[in-house]
Structure 1
Protein backbone atom coordinates (compact mmCIF):
# COMPACT_ATOMS: atom_id res chain seq x y z
CA UNK A 1 0.00 0.00 0.00
CA UNK A 2 1.30 3.47 -0.84
CA UNK A 3 0.77 6.85 0.76
CA UNK A 4 -1.99 7.76 -1.70
CA UNK A 5 -3.98 4.67 -0.72
CA UNK A 6 -3.61 5.48 2.99
CA UNK A 7 -5.28 8.83 2.48
CA UNK A 8 -8.45 6.96 1.49
CA UNK A 9 -8.87 5.69 5.02
CA UNK A 10 -12.01 6.97 6.73
CA UNK A 11 -11.85 7.46 10.49
CA UNK A 12 -14.49 5.53 12.45
CA UNK A 13 -17.43 7.56 13.74
CA UNK A 14 -16.48 6.97 17.37
CA UNK A 15 -13.25 8.98 16.89
CA UNK A 16 -15.00 12.30 16.20
CA UNK A 17 -15.58 13.29 19.88
CA UNK A 18 -11.86 12.70 20.54
CA UNK A 19 -10.55 14.54 17.49
CA UNK A 20 -12.87 17.50 18.17
CA UNK A 21 -11.77 17.70 21.81
CA UNK A 22 -15.22 16.99 23.22
CA UNK A 23 -13.99 13.77 24.78
CA UNK A 24 -10.64 12.97 26.42
CA UNK A 25 -9.14 9.52 25.84
CA UNK A 26 -6.30 7.62 27.48
CA UNK A 27 -3.63 8.98 25.13
CA UNK A 28 -4.66 12.61 25.62
CA UNK A 29 -4.95 12.21 29.39
CA UNK A 30 -1.55 10.52 29.56
CA UNK A 31 0.09 13.37 27.63
CA UNK A 32 -1.47 16.03 29.89
CA UNK A 33 -0.25 14.18 32.97
CA UNK A 34 3.23 13.64 31.49
CA UNK A 35 3.56 17.28 30.47
CA UNK A 36 2.68 18.47 33.98
CA UNK A 37 5.32 16.26 35.59
CA UNK A 38 8.00 16.82 32.94
CA UNK A 39 8.01 13.22 31.76
CA UNK A 40 6.57 13.76 28.27
CA UNK A 41 9.90 12.99 26.57
CA UNK A 42 10.92 16.61 26.03
CA UNK A 43 13.72 16.35 28.61
CA UNK A 44 15.53 14.07 26.16
CA UNK A 45 16.43 17.03 23.93
CA UNK A 46 16.00 20.00 26.27
CA UNK A 47 18.33 20.27 29.26
CA UNK A 48 16.09 22.94 30.75
CA UNK A 49 13.27 20.44 31.27
CA UNK A 50 13.37 18.68 34.63
CA UNK A 51 11.65 15.37 35.19
CA UNK A 52 9.70 16.09 38.37
CA UNK A 53 8.29 12.61 38.91
CA UNK A 54 10.36 9.42 39.28
CA UNK A 55 9.36 6.66 36.90
CA UNK A 56 7.56 3.68 38.40
CA UNK A 57 7.63 1.04 35.65
CA UNK A 58 5.18 -1.81 35.97
CA UNK A 59 6.08 -5.51 35.52
CA UNK A 60 6.34 -6.55 31.89
CA UNK A 61 3.09 -7.82 30.33
CA UNK A 62 2.93 -10.76 27.95
CA UNK A 63 0.52 -10.85 25.02
CA UNK A 64 -0.40 -13.99 23.12
CA UNK A 65 -1.90 -14.18 19.67
CA UNK A 66 -5.63 -14.71 19.74
CA UNK A 67 -6.81 -18.32 19.91
CA UNK A 68 -10.25 -19.90 19.95
CA UNK A 69 -9.10 -22.82 22.13
CA UNK A 70 -10.93 -22.51 25.44
CA UNK A 71 -8.28 -24.41 27.43
CA UNK A 72 -5.53 -22.08 26.23
CA UNK A 73 -7.67 -19.01 26.86
CA UNK A 74 -8.45 -20.15 30.41
CA UNK A 75 -4.72 -20.65 31.09
CA UNK A 76 -3.89 -17.21 29.71
CA UNK A 77 -6.66 -15.60 31.74
CA UNK A 78 -5.48 -17.28 34.94
CA UNK A 79 -1.90 -16.11 34.34
CA UNK A 80 -2.95 -12.51 33.63
CA UNK A 81 -1.84 -12.56 30.00
CA UNK A 82 -3.36 -10.26 27.38
CA UNK A 83 -4.42 -10.87 23.77
CA UNK A 84 -2.82 -9.51 20.62
CA UNK A 85 -5.61 -9.41 18.04
CA UNK A 86 -4.42 -9.36 14.44
CA UNK A 87 -6.27 -7.19 11.96
CA UNK A 88 -6.01 -10.16 9.58
CA UNK A 89 -7.59 -12.56 12.06
CA UNK A 90 -10.88 -12.99 13.90
CA UNK A 91 -11.78 -9.71 15.62
CA UNK A 92 -12.72 -11.13 19.00
CA UNK A 93 -11.15 -10.27 22.36
CA UNK A 94 -12.49 -13.23 24.38
CA UNK A 95 -13.10 -10.88 27.33
CA UNK A 96 -9.37 -10.29 27.87
CA UNK A 97 -7.41 -7.02 27.80
CA UNK A 98 -6.10 -6.68 24.25
CA UNK A 99 -4.00 -4.77 21.74
CA UNK A 100 -4.27 -4.63 17.95
CA UNK A 101 -1.57 -5.81 15.55
CA UNK A 102 -1.86 -4.26 12.10
CA UNK A 103 -1.68 -7.62 10.28
CA UNK A 104 1.47 -6.76 8.29
CA UNK A 105 3.30 -9.89 9.52
CA UNK A 106 0.44 -12.16 8.40
CA UNK A 107 0.37 -10.48 4.99
CA UNK A 108 4.16 -10.83 4.75
CA UNK A 109 4.06 -14.54 5.56
CA UNK A 110 1.27 -15.06 3.01
CA UNK A 111 3.20 -13.00 0.42
CA UNK A 112 0.29 -10.57 0.12
CA UNK A 113 0.25 -6.74 0.12
CA UNK A 114 -0.73 -4.97 3.31
CA UNK A 115 -4.49 -5.21 3.85
CA UNK A 116 -5.65 -1.63 4.43
CA UNK A 117 -9.31 -2.61 4.67
CA UNK A 118 -8.66 -5.24 7.33
CA UNK A 119 -6.66 -2.78 9.42
CA UNK A 120 -9.36 -0.10 9.13
CA UNK A 121 -12.01 -2.62 10.10
CA UNK A 122 -10.04 -3.67 13.20
CA UNK A 123 -9.56 -0.04 14.30
CA UNK A 124 -13.24 0.69 13.71
CA UNK A 125 -14.45 -2.31 15.69
CA UNK A 126 -11.88 -2.61 18.49
CA UNK A 127 -9.67 0.49 18.43
CA UNK A 128 -11.40 2.59 21.07
CA UNK A 129 -10.79 0.11 23.90
CA UNK A 130 -7.48 -1.36 22.73
CA UNK A 131 -4.46 -0.91 25.01
CA UNK A 132 -2.38 0.00 21.96
CA UNK A 133 -2.36 -0.29 18.18
CA UNK A 134 0.63 -1.06 15.96
CA UNK A 135 0.76 1.43 13.10
CA UNK A 136 0.97 -0.16 9.63
CA UNK A 137 4.51 -1.09 8.66
CA UNK A 138 6.57 -3.09 6.17
CA UNK A 139 8.28 -6.13 7.67
CA UNK A 140 12.08 -5.61 7.58
CA UNK A 141 11.34 -2.58 5.38
CA UNK A 142 13.61 0.01 6.95
CA UNK A 143 12.84 3.64 6.12
CA UNK A 144 10.08 2.72 3.66
CA UNK A 145 8.29 1.15 6.61
CA UNK A 146 8.67 4.34 8.64
CA UNK A 147 7.24 6.43 5.79
CA UNK A 148 4.14 4.23 5.74
CA UNK A 149 3.79 4.37 9.54
CA UNK A 150 4.02 8.17 9.56
CA UNK A 151 1.21 8.43 7.05
CA UNK A 152 -1.00 6.42 9.37
CA UNK A 153 0.16 8.30 12.45
CA UNK A 154 -1.32 11.40 10.85
CA UNK A 155 -4.49 9.54 9.84
CA UNK A 156 -5.08 8.37 13.43
CA UNK A 157 -4.31 11.72 15.07
CA UNK A 158 -6.60 12.22 18.04
CA UNK A 159 -7.28 8.54 18.64
CA UNK A 160 -7.63 7.82 22.39
CA UNK A 161 -5.42 4.75 22.17
CA UNK A 162 -1.62 4.60 22.44
CA UNK A 163 -0.01 4.04 19.03
CA UNK A 164 3.22 2.12 18.42
CA UNK A 165 5.75 2.79 15.66
CA UNK A 166 7.38 -0.37 14.35
CA UNK A 167 11.16 -0.16 14.01
CA UNK A 168 12.72 -2.40 11.39
CA UNK A 169 16.11 -3.51 10.07
CA UNK A 170 18.31 -0.55 9.20
CA UNK A 171 16.58 1.98 11.44
CA UNK A 172 18.40 3.87 14.21
CA UNK A 173 17.14 5.90 17.21
CA UNK A 174 17.42 9.30 15.53
CA UNK A 175 15.05 8.14 12.78
CA UNK A 176 12.17 8.07 15.26
CA UNK A 177 13.41 9.91 18.36
CA UNK A 178 11.35 13.08 18.02
CA UNK A 179 8.19 11.17 17.17
CA UNK A 180 8.08 9.29 20.48
CA UNK A 181 6.19 10.24 23.62
CA UNK A 182 4.01 8.59 26.27
CA UNK A 183 1.26 8.36 23.63
CA UNK A 184 3.45 7.13 20.73
CA UNK A 185 5.67 4.19 21.58
CA UNK A 186 7.95 1.63 19.97
CA UNK A 187 7.23 -1.81 18.54
CA UNK A 188 10.48 -3.69 17.91
CA UNK A 189 9.95 -5.71 14.74
CA UNK A 190 12.52 -6.72 12.13
CA UNK A 191 14.10 -10.13 11.75
CA UNK A 192 15.22 -12.15 14.76
CA UNK A 193 18.96 -11.41 14.61
CA UNK A 194 18.39 -7.67 14.28
CA UNK A 195 15.79 -7.64 17.03
CA UNK A 196 18.02 -9.44 19.52
CA UNK A 197 21.08 -7.32 18.71
CA UNK A 198 19.28 -3.95 18.97
CA UNK A 199 16.65 -4.42 21.71
CA UNK A 200 18.88 -2.79 24.36
CA UNK A 201 19.33 0.25 22.14
CA UNK A 202 15.56 0.64 21.76
CA UNK A 203 15.14 0.15 25.50
CA UNK A 204 17.46 3.06 26.17
CA UNK A 205 15.64 5.24 23.64
CA UNK A 206 12.31 4.36 25.24
CA UNK A 207 13.63 5.54 28.60
CA UNK A 208 14.96 8.78 27.12
CA UNK A 209 11.60 9.52 25.51
CA UNK A 210 9.47 8.00 28.30
CA UNK A 211 7.56 5.96 25.76
CA UNK A 212 6.06 2.48 25.72
CA UNK A 213 8.28 -0.36 24.42
CA UNK A 214 6.91 -3.60 23.01
CA UNK A 215 8.93 -6.43 21.44
CA UNK A 216 7.29 -8.74 18.92
CA UNK A 217 7.68 -12.50 18.40
CA UNK A 218 9.06 -13.51 21.78
CA UNK A 219 8.51 -17.25 22.29
CA UNK A 220 11.22 -18.42 24.68
CA UNK A 221 12.22 -17.86 28.31
CA UNK A 222 15.65 -16.66 27.15
CA UNK A 223 14.16 -13.97 24.95
CA UNK A 224 11.71 -12.90 27.67
CA UNK A 225 14.66 -12.30 29.99
CA UNK A 226 16.48 -10.34 27.28
CA UNK A 227 13.46 -8.08 26.73
CA UNK A 228 12.93 -7.57 30.46
CA UNK A 229 16.57 -6.52 30.85
CA UNK A 230 16.08 -3.99 28.04
CA UNK A 231 13.15 -2.41 29.88
CA UNK A 232 10.34 -3.62 27.63
CA UNK A 233 6.81 -2.92 28.84
CA UNK A 234 5.43 -5.91 27.00
CA UNK A 235 6.18 -8.76 24.60
CA UNK A 236 4.09 -11.04 22.43
CA UNK A 237 4.30 -14.52 20.97
CA UNK A 238 2.30 -17.41 19.55
CA UNK A 239 3.59 -20.28 21.67
CA UNK A 240 1.08 -19.96 24.54
CA UNK A 241 -1.79 -19.60 22.07
CA UNK A 242 -0.90 -22.84 20.33
CA UNK A 243 0.32 -24.95 23.23
CA UNK A 244 -1.18 -24.48 26.71
CA UNK A 245 1.66 -26.42 28.32
CA UNK A 246 4.23 -23.81 27.25
CA UNK A 247 2.51 -21.00 29.13
CA UNK A 248 3.71 -22.03 32.61
CA UNK A 249 7.48 -21.91 31.88
CA UNK A 250 7.11 -18.70 29.87
CA UNK A 251 5.10 -17.06 32.64
CA UNK A 252 7.66 -18.22 35.22
CA UNK A 253 10.39 -16.52 33.18
CA UNK A 254 8.25 -13.39 32.99
CA UNK A 255 7.73 -13.25 36.75
CA UNK A 256 11.37 -14.06 37.52
CA UNK A 257 12.71 -11.39 35.14
CA UNK A 258 10.37 -8.56 36.07
CA UNK A 259 9.39 -9.19 39.69
CA UNK A 260 11.70 -11.63 41.48
CA UNK A 261 15.07 -10.80 39.92
CA UNK A 262 15.07 -7.47 38.12
CA UNK A 263 18.07 -6.54 36.00
CA UNK A 264 20.25 -3.93 37.72
CA UNK A 265 21.01 -2.22 34.40
CA UNK A 266 17.41 -2.06 33.18
CA UNK A 267 17.24 1.42 31.54
CA UNK A 268 13.55 1.90 32.44
CA UNK A 269 14.55 2.08 36.11
CA UNK A 270 17.40 4.55 35.61
CA UNK A 271 17.44 8.31 35.90
CA UNK A 272 17.52 10.17 32.59
CA UNK A 273 21.13 11.25 33.13
CA UNK A 274 22.23 7.63 33.50
CA UNK A 275 21.05 6.64 30.01
CA UNK A 276 23.35 7.68 27.13
CA UNK A 277 21.80 10.05 24.60
CA UNK A 278 23.04 8.02 21.61
CA UNK A 279 21.51 4.85 23.12
CA UNK A 280 24.61 2.80 22.36
Structure 2
Protein backbone atom coordinates (compact mmCIF):
# COMPACT_ATOMS: atom_id res chain seq x y z
CA UNK A 1 0.00 0.00 0.00
CA UNK A 2 1.36 3.43 -0.96
CA UNK A 3 0.08 6.80 0.30
CA UNK A 4 -2.96 8.23 -1.48
CA UNK A 5 -1.14 11.52 -2.01
CA UNK A 6 2.12 10.07 -3.39
CA UNK A 7 1.08 9.85 -7.06
CA UNK A 8 0.89 13.64 -7.32
CA UNK A 9 4.56 13.89 -6.39
CA UNK A 10 5.61 10.91 -8.49
CA UNK A 11 4.08 12.34 -11.68
CA UNK A 12 5.28 15.90 -11.07
CA UNK A 13 1.95 17.53 -10.18
CA UNK A 14 3.38 18.55 -6.81
CA UNK A 15 6.96 19.21 -5.70
CA UNK A 16 8.37 18.44 -2.27
CA UNK A 17 11.68 19.12 -0.54
CA UNK A 18 13.31 16.05 -2.08
CA UNK A 19 12.47 17.17 -5.62
CA UNK A 20 13.76 20.68 -4.84
CA UNK A 21 17.02 19.23 -3.49
CA UNK A 22 17.50 17.25 -6.69
CA UNK A 23 16.74 20.19 -8.99
CA UNK A 24 19.21 22.38 -7.10
CA UNK A 25 21.85 19.64 -7.09
CA UNK A 26 21.42 18.93 -10.79
CA UNK A 27 21.84 22.62 -11.63
CA UNK A 28 25.12 22.76 -9.72
CA UNK A 29 26.35 19.38 -10.95
CA UNK A 30 26.35 17.80 -7.50
CA UNK A 31 23.61 15.23 -8.08
CA UNK A 32 26.12 12.37 -8.35
CA UNK A 33 26.49 12.53 -12.13
CA UNK A 34 30.09 13.74 -11.79
CA UNK A 35 31.07 10.30 -10.52
CA UNK A 36 30.00 8.77 -13.83
CA UNK A 37 30.82 11.57 -16.28
CA UNK A 38 34.17 13.42 -15.97
CA UNK A 39 32.78 16.22 -18.14
CA UNK A 40 30.33 17.23 -15.40
CA UNK A 41 31.64 20.14 -13.36
CA UNK A 42 30.71 20.33 -9.69
CA UNK A 43 30.16 24.03 -9.11
CA UNK A 44 29.33 24.26 -5.43
CA UNK A 45 31.10 23.22 -2.24
CA UNK A 46 29.45 21.20 0.50
CA UNK A 47 28.70 22.93 3.77
CA UNK A 48 27.17 21.00 6.63
CA UNK A 49 25.23 22.65 9.44
CA UNK A 50 25.85 21.76 13.13
CA UNK A 51 24.62 18.29 14.02
CA UNK A 52 20.92 17.99 14.90
CA UNK A 53 19.52 15.85 17.70
CA UNK A 54 16.32 13.82 17.34
CA UNK A 55 14.66 12.26 20.37
CA UNK A 56 12.36 9.27 20.23
CA UNK A 57 8.78 10.47 20.41
CA UNK A 58 7.51 10.96 23.96
CA UNK A 59 4.25 12.21 25.41
CA UNK A 60 5.75 13.44 28.69
CA UNK A 61 5.12 17.18 28.93
CA UNK A 62 8.21 17.94 30.98
CA UNK A 63 10.48 16.14 28.52
CA UNK A 64 8.74 17.70 25.51
CA UNK A 65 9.22 21.17 27.00
CA UNK A 66 12.92 20.49 27.57
CA UNK A 67 13.35 19.21 24.01
CA UNK A 68 11.54 22.20 22.58
CA UNK A 69 13.70 24.59 24.58
CA UNK A 70 16.85 22.96 23.18
CA UNK A 71 15.44 22.96 19.62
CA UNK A 72 15.65 19.19 19.31
CA UNK A 73 13.32 17.30 16.96
CA UNK A 74 11.32 14.09 17.24
CA UNK A 75 11.84 10.72 15.60
CA UNK A 76 8.40 9.12 15.33
CA UNK A 77 8.31 5.33 14.99
CA UNK A 78 5.81 3.60 12.73
CA UNK A 79 5.33 1.12 15.59
CA UNK A 80 4.53 3.83 18.12
CA UNK A 81 1.89 6.49 18.55
CA UNK A 82 1.71 8.58 15.38
CA UNK A 83 1.87 12.00 17.01
CA UNK A 84 4.40 14.75 16.35
CA UNK A 85 3.52 16.95 19.36
CA UNK A 86 3.97 20.05 17.17
CA UNK A 87 7.68 19.34 16.61
CA UNK A 88 9.68 19.10 13.43
CA UNK A 89 10.07 15.37 12.95
CA UNK A 90 11.40 12.44 10.98
CA UNK A 91 9.77 9.03 10.51
CA UNK A 92 11.37 5.74 11.54
CA UNK A 93 10.12 2.56 9.89
CA UNK A 94 9.74 0.57 13.12
CA UNK A 95 12.12 -2.24 12.12
CA UNK A 96 14.26 -1.83 15.26
CA UNK A 97 11.25 -2.12 17.55
CA UNK A 98 10.09 -5.26 15.75
CA UNK A 99 13.62 -6.70 16.00
CA UNK A 100 13.77 -6.06 19.75
CA UNK A 101 10.39 -7.71 20.25
CA UNK A 102 11.25 -10.70 18.06
CA UNK A 103 8.49 -9.88 15.59
CA UNK A 104 8.50 -9.63 11.78
CA UNK A 105 8.57 -6.16 10.25
CA UNK A 106 5.09 -4.64 10.18
CA UNK A 107 4.64 -3.39 6.61
CA UNK A 108 1.06 -2.33 7.25
CA UNK A 109 2.03 -0.15 10.23
CA UNK A 110 4.77 1.49 8.18
CA UNK A 111 2.38 2.17 5.29
CA UNK A 112 -0.14 3.76 7.67
CA UNK A 113 2.60 5.92 9.21
CA UNK A 114 3.75 7.11 5.77
CA UNK A 115 0.17 7.89 4.77
CA UNK A 116 -0.36 10.00 7.88
CA UNK A 117 3.04 11.58 8.49
CA UNK A 118 5.29 10.98 5.49
CA UNK A 119 4.31 14.03 3.46
CA UNK A 120 5.53 16.51 6.09
CA UNK A 121 8.42 14.52 7.56
CA UNK A 122 11.93 15.91 7.21
CA UNK A 123 13.07 12.42 6.20
CA UNK A 124 12.06 8.80 6.61
CA UNK A 125 13.97 5.56 6.98
CA UNK A 126 13.19 3.11 4.19
CA UNK A 127 12.24 -0.35 5.58
CA UNK A 128 15.25 -2.52 6.35
CA UNK A 129 16.25 -5.78 8.02
CA UNK A 130 18.16 -5.14 11.25
CA UNK A 131 21.59 -6.79 11.09
CA UNK A 132 20.52 -8.15 7.71
CA UNK A 133 23.51 -7.17 5.57
CA UNK A 134 22.90 -7.32 1.83
CA UNK A 135 19.46 -8.86 2.28
CA UNK A 136 18.50 -5.65 4.07
CA UNK A 137 19.77 -3.53 1.17
CA UNK A 138 17.79 -5.56 -1.36
CA UNK A 139 14.67 -5.13 0.76
CA UNK A 140 15.25 -1.39 1.13
CA UNK A 141 15.71 -0.91 -2.62
CA UNK A 142 12.34 -2.50 -3.30
CA UNK A 143 10.72 -0.05 -0.94
CA UNK A 144 12.70 2.82 -2.43
CA UNK A 145 11.06 2.09 -5.76
CA UNK A 146 7.61 1.71 -4.21
CA UNK A 147 7.98 5.11 -2.56
CA UNK A 148 9.37 6.85 -5.64
CA UNK A 149 8.37 10.50 -5.64
CA UNK A 150 8.35 10.97 -1.85
CA UNK A 151 8.48 14.68 -1.04
CA UNK A 152 10.90 14.12 1.84
CA UNK A 153 14.35 12.61 1.84
CA UNK A 154 14.48 8.82 2.11
CA UNK A 155 17.36 7.20 4.00
CA UNK A 156 18.78 3.74 3.30
CA UNK A 157 19.82 1.94 6.49
CA UNK A 158 23.36 0.56 6.23
CA UNK A 159 24.06 -2.55 8.30
CA UNK A 160 27.00 -4.73 9.34
CA UNK A 161 28.34 -6.43 6.24
CA UNK A 162 27.54 -3.66 3.76
CA UNK A 163 30.34 -1.97 1.86
CA UNK A 164 30.52 1.52 0.43
CA UNK A 165 30.39 0.25 -3.15
CA UNK A 166 27.15 -1.61 -2.39
CA UNK A 167 25.17 1.56 -1.74
CA UNK A 168 27.05 4.44 -3.38
CA UNK A 169 25.20 4.43 -6.71
CA UNK A 170 21.79 4.70 -5.00
CA UNK A 171 22.62 7.85 -3.04
CA UNK A 172 21.77 11.42 -4.00
CA UNK A 173 20.61 14.66 -2.35
CA UNK A 174 17.16 13.00 -2.14
CA UNK A 175 18.34 9.55 -0.92
CA UNK A 176 20.66 9.48 2.07
CA UNK A 177 22.18 7.17 4.67
CA UNK A 178 20.87 5.96 8.03
CA UNK A 179 23.78 4.35 9.91
CA UNK A 180 22.28 1.33 11.65
CA UNK A 181 23.95 -1.93 12.62
CA UNK A 182 25.68 -2.69 15.90
CA UNK A 183 27.07 0.06 18.12
CA UNK A 184 30.65 -1.15 17.64
CA UNK A 185 30.25 -1.21 13.86
CA UNK A 186 28.81 2.31 13.84
CA UNK A 187 31.72 3.73 15.79
CA UNK A 188 34.25 1.95 13.59
CA UNK A 189 32.71 2.91 10.25
CA UNK A 190 30.98 6.28 10.87
CA UNK A 191 33.77 8.29 9.23
CA UNK A 192 33.64 6.09 6.11
CA UNK A 193 29.89 6.52 5.64
CA UNK A 194 30.15 10.27 6.24
CA UNK A 195 32.88 10.56 3.61
CA UNK A 196 30.63 8.69 1.19
CA UNK A 197 27.69 10.97 2.08
CA UNK A 198 29.79 14.04 1.35
CA UNK A 199 30.97 12.53 -1.91
CA UNK A 200 27.39 11.83 -2.99
CA UNK A 201 26.02 15.06 -1.48
CA UNK A 202 23.45 13.22 0.62
CA UNK A 203 22.08 13.42 4.15
CA UNK A 204 23.50 11.14 6.86
CA UNK A 205 21.87 10.20 10.17
CA UNK A 206 23.25 7.92 12.90
CA UNK A 207 20.74 5.84 14.85
CA UNK A 208 20.68 4.98 18.58
CA UNK A 209 23.15 7.49 19.99
CA UNK A 210 22.62 7.91 23.74
CA UNK A 211 25.84 9.28 25.22
CA UNK A 212 27.83 12.49 24.94
CA UNK A 213 30.85 10.48 23.77
CA UNK A 214 28.93 8.96 20.87
CA UNK A 215 27.42 12.31 19.95
CA UNK A 216 30.94 13.75 19.75
CA UNK A 217 31.99 10.85 17.51
CA UNK A 218 29.07 11.61 15.18
CA UNK A 219 29.78 15.34 15.21
CA UNK A 220 33.50 14.87 14.57
CA UNK A 221 32.76 12.53 11.68
CA UNK A 222 30.47 15.16 10.14
CA UNK A 223 27.05 13.50 10.48
CA UNK A 224 23.98 15.64 9.87
CA UNK A 225 21.93 14.24 12.74
CA UNK A 226 21.50 11.46 15.29
CA UNK A 227 18.72 10.06 17.47
CA UNK A 228 18.44 8.58 20.91
CA UNK A 229 15.98 7.59 23.63
CA UNK A 230 17.78 8.95 26.69
CA UNK A 231 16.35 12.47 26.62
CA UNK A 232 12.89 11.13 25.86
CA UNK A 233 12.95 9.22 29.13
CA UNK A 234 15.00 11.50 31.36
CA UNK A 235 14.84 15.26 30.78
CA UNK A 236 17.76 15.76 33.17
CA UNK A 237 20.14 14.14 30.66
CA UNK A 238 19.35 16.72 27.97
CA UNK A 239 21.72 19.57 29.00
CA UNK A 240 24.76 17.28 28.97
CA UNK A 241 23.85 15.68 25.65
CA UNK A 242 22.84 18.97 24.07
CA UNK A 243 26.21 20.51 24.97
CA UNK A 244 27.90 17.74 23.01
CA UNK A 245 25.96 18.76 19.88
CA UNK A 246 27.12 22.35 20.21
CA UNK A 247 30.79 21.77 20.94
CA UNK A 248 32.65 22.38 17.71
CA UNK A 249 35.43 19.94 16.83
CA UNK A 250 38.32 21.63 15.03
CA UNK A 251 39.12 18.35 13.28
CA UNK A 252 35.53 17.58 12.29
CA UNK A 253 35.02 16.30 8.77
CA UNK A 254 32.00 18.60 8.58
CA UNK A 255 34.40 21.49 8.03
CA UNK A 256 36.21 19.85 5.13
CA UNK A 257 35.65 21.21 1.66
CA UNK A 258 34.47 19.21 -1.33
CA UNK A 259 38.02 18.43 -2.45
CA UNK A 260 38.84 16.82 0.90
CA UNK A 261 35.72 14.65 0.67
CA UNK A 262 36.67 13.64 -2.86
CA UNK A 263 40.16 12.60 -1.74
CA UNK A 264 38.79 10.73 1.28
CA UNK A 265 36.70 8.47 -0.95
CA UNK A 266 38.78 8.48 -4.11
CA UNK A 267 39.69 4.81 -3.74
CA UNK A 268 36.03 3.85 -3.25
CA UNK A 269 34.99 4.80 -6.77
CA UNK A 270 36.17 3.09 -9.95
User: What displacement does 1:42 show?
Assistant: 2.2
Q: Secondary structure at the match of 1:176?
A: helix
Q: Secondary structure at the match of 1:13?
A: coil
Candidates 257, 266, 269, aligned match of 1:277: 266
Candidates 260, 264, 268, aligned match of 2:251: 264
Candidates 97, 113, 124, aligned match of 2:104: 113
Provide structure 2 residue ranges, at least 5 long, that are not aligned to the other structure: none
Q: Secondary structure at the match of 2:131?
A: coil
The corresponding residue for 1:221 is: 212
The corresponding residue for 2:237 is: 246
Runs of 4+ aligned structure 1 residues displaced above 6 Å come to none
TM-score after normalising by structure 1: 0.92
Contact 1:163–1:185 (8 Å) recurs in 2: yes
The corresponding residue for 1:175 is: 166
| 1:186 and 2:177 are equivalent in the alignment | yes
Q: Secondary structure at the match of 1:52?
A: coil
| 1:157 and 2:148 are equivalent in the alignment | yes
Candidates 83, 90, 103, aligned match of 2:81: 90
User: What value does the CA root-mean-square deviation take over the aligned residues?
Assistant: 1.4
Contact 1:203–1:268 (8 Å) recurs in 2: no
CA distance in 2, matches of 1:264, 1:192: 22
Deviation per CA, 1:213-265, whole angstroms, max 9, x where unpaired? 00000011111111111110000000000000000000001000xxxx23435
Alignment of 1:139-154 (within 5 A): 139-154=130-145
Q: Secondary structure at the match of 2:267?
A: coil
The corresponding residue for 1:61 is: 52
Q: Secondary structure at the match of 2:5?
A: helix
TM-score after normalising by structure 2: 0.95
Contact 1:135–1:163 (8 Å) recurs in 2: yes
Alignment of 1:129-140 (within 5 A): 129-140=120-131
Distance verdict in 2 for CA 1:267–1:57, change over 3 Å: closer
User: What displacement does 1:267 show?
Assistant: 5.3
User: What displacement does 1:86 show?
Assistant: 0.3
Q: Secondary structure at the match of 2:197?
A: helix
Contact 1:188–1:214 (8 Å) recurs in 2: yes
CA distance in 2, matches of 1:19, 1:276: 32
